[in-house]
Chains A and B, each alone.
Chain A
């Protein structure tokens, strides 16, 4: 039972590079989201999706793009990495429609130099 799988676990980028963080879930959940965790700030919502083809911005969307072509996958794209995007990124999924308990992936630790 894989749950939510994130790849890669670690990544170092140079300023200006782009990359995609992958997220996949096998629970047929409608709702998926991306958070970033920074010291002293908890988890902040970047983007979310309530189903295939539907995405919306969260609290801190600047510098990130998402798409949701299938129920299972929700990749997060960094368009031009900046040092301020150094963080730990978590993907989460939940059944939605009133069932809020989210399942999180193991996280991706990203460093931008």
Chain B
């Protein structure tokens, strides 16, 4: 049973606009959340993370928001660029060593 869910398999956004990717989880024991970006034929690369004790973390064009009461997090990319076209995975940590549970991913396409 998937405990991390990304319900939008794809997202198309115009260059310069905001991309908003959503992720829901069911396990209240998750204490750390991460976003990974994946290009075709490459491994996922770490993008940004947030601890469960925070509600926002920002890194350049990327911001992650966490709503613990709703068990929901989102990734905002502003402004979107063509190089942001990739699959984005949401992941949640299940122990301090780093066992991760991943969502199914969202394919983002940034159009000119």
Contact = CB atoms under 8 A, between A and B. Distances in A.
Contacts of A40: 9, 104
A79 interface: no
Task: Say which size band chain B's interface belongs to.
Answer: 20 to 34
B22 to A, nearest CB: 14
A88 B101 CA distance: 17
Contacts of B97: 30-31, 48, 50, 94, 96-97
B96 interface: yes
Contact of B100 (A96, A100, A103, A107): A100
A101 B34 CA distance: 8
A33 interface: yes
Interface string A74-105: 00000000000000001010101111111111
B8 interface: no
Given A43-B89, A94-B98, A96-B98, A105 B104 contact: no
A4 B43 contact: yes
Task: Say which size band chain A's interface belongs to.
Answer: 20 to 34
A104 B47 CA distance: 12
Most buried by B among A50, A92, A101, A103: A101
Contact of A44 (B42, B93, B102): B102
Interface of A: 4, 30-31, 33, 35, 40-45, 48, 50, 58-59, 90, 92, 94, 96-107
Contacts of B49: 100-101
Interface in B96-110: 96-105
Nearest to B89: A42
A42 B102 contact: yes
B41 interface: yes
B2 to A, nearest CB: 8
Contacts of B41: 106-107
Interface string B43-70: 1111001000000000000000000000
Contacts of B105: 42
Contacts of B45: 104
24 contacts: A4-B43, A33-B98, A33-B99, A41-B104, A42-B4, A42-B6, A42-B102, A43-B44, A45-B100, A48-B99, A59-B101, A92-B43, A96-B97, A100-B34, A100-B93, A100-B100, A101-B34, A101-B49, A102-B98, A104-B36, A104-B43, A104-B44, A106-B41, A107-B43
